[in-house]
Every structure is written in C-alpha cells, then in structure tokens.
C-alpha cells in the first residue's frame, strides 16, 4: 500500500488553525529557526536541562541533544518546506505554560541526516510537538512523527 503524502491530502471539515497565544507562537518560532538552519537559536530557546521525548522512543536531556536531533532532521531535508498546520498555546492555573503545534515537512530527501544518504525521494513528514515552558525556556519537548512512514516513502522511491 502506498503511504499517505501531501498529494493525497484533502481539506476536512475542521478549518481551525488554533490560536495566537504567545507560547504556541514561541514554539512555531523555534521550528522556523531550526528549518532555516539557525541552530544558534536553540540555546536561547531551550532550558539547558530540557527533557526530550523524541521519535523512536528516545528520551534525552539537554540542549546538546535537542541540537543533535533537530540538526539530523533538517540535514535529511535541507530544502523542505515547513508547514504549520495547527498551533496553540495555553496558560492555566497550577500548570506550566504549554504549546502544541502540528506541522509538516514537505520536500525531497536530499541531505545526509537522520534517514541515511540522500535519495531524492519526495517526502511528507507530519509531526506534532507538545511542550512545557519554564522560567529558563522550553523545559519539556515531546516531538512525534512516524519514522516508518518516512522510511517507506524513501524505500518506495528507491524501488
């Protein structure tokens, strides 16, 4: 079975894009820095002891590990377009400020990174990120995307 890609996407009945709360905007800004290869922004955005939950069931800690993850992802898709599909931020009593962003990378696997040597495969990577913020920046970051879906697109392209 062929994997779902951006070419298959159709508008659904829900047309909302979330809200304009500052914490959601901050996370979107971080993604835009990463996808424009401005990795120097990460130490300004992340708490130095950030807790990371990453694809593949990986748990990591610290800005260095956040940097490794985002650099490896961006390196695999250096010219991919970042699309922010939904973004929210929230502040509630007795809770840290939070953000949730649903995003996609759409483009070619044309770099050496998280998904091996470049293949030129057209890839639609759909991601979701949920985060907690603290006094020193982004302190918990949960990033999710289906690695098998990405690999399938790459492998089908290779035949």
User: Do the domain assignments include residue 10?
Assistant: no
Tell me the residue range of the domain where 33 lies.
22-158
- Note whether residue 13 is domain-resident: no
Contact 44, 29 (CB under 8 A): no
Q: How many domains does the chain have?
A: 1
User: The domain spanning residue 84 has which CATH number?
Assistant: 3.10.450.50
Q: Is the pLDDT of residue 12 over 80?
A: yes
Report yes or no on 98 lying in a domain: yes
Q: Is pLDDT at 6 greater than 80 in this prediction?
A: no
Torsion from C-alpha of 72, 62, 103, 120, nearest 10 degrees: 0
Q: Is residue 3 part of a domain?
A: no
pTM over 0.95: no
**8 lies in a domain?**
no
pLDDT classification of 3: cutoffs 50, 70, 90: confident
Residue 1 has pLDDT above 90, yes or no: no
Q: For 37-51, what is each residue's pLDDT tens digit?
A: 999 999 999 999 999
Question: Phi-psi category of 18—alpha, beta or left, where left has phi over 0 and alpha has psi -120 to 50?
Answer: left
**11 belongs to a structural domain:** no
In the chain, the percentage of residues whose pLDDT exceeds 90 is 89
């Amino acid at each position: 079975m062929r994997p779902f890609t951006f070419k298959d996407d159709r508008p659904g009945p829900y047309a909302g894009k979330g809200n304009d709360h500052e914490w959601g905007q901050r996370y979107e800004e971080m993604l835009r820095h990463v996808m424009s290869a401005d990795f120097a922004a990460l130490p300004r955005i992340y708490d130095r002891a950030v807790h990371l939950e990453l694809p593949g069931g990986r748990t990591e800690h610290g800005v260095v590990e956040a940097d490794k993850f985002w650099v490896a992802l961006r390196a695999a898709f250096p010219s991919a377009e970042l699309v922010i599909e939904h973004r929210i931020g929230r502040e509630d009593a007795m809770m840290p400020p939070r953000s949730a962003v649903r995003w996609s990378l759409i483009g070619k696997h044309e770099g050496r990174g998280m998904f091996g040597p470049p293949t030129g495969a057209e890839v639609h990577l759909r991601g979701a990120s949920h985060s907690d913020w603290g006094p020193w920046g982004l302190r918990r970051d949960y990033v999710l995307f289906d690695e098998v879906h990405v690999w399938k697109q790459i492998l089908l392209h290779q035949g």
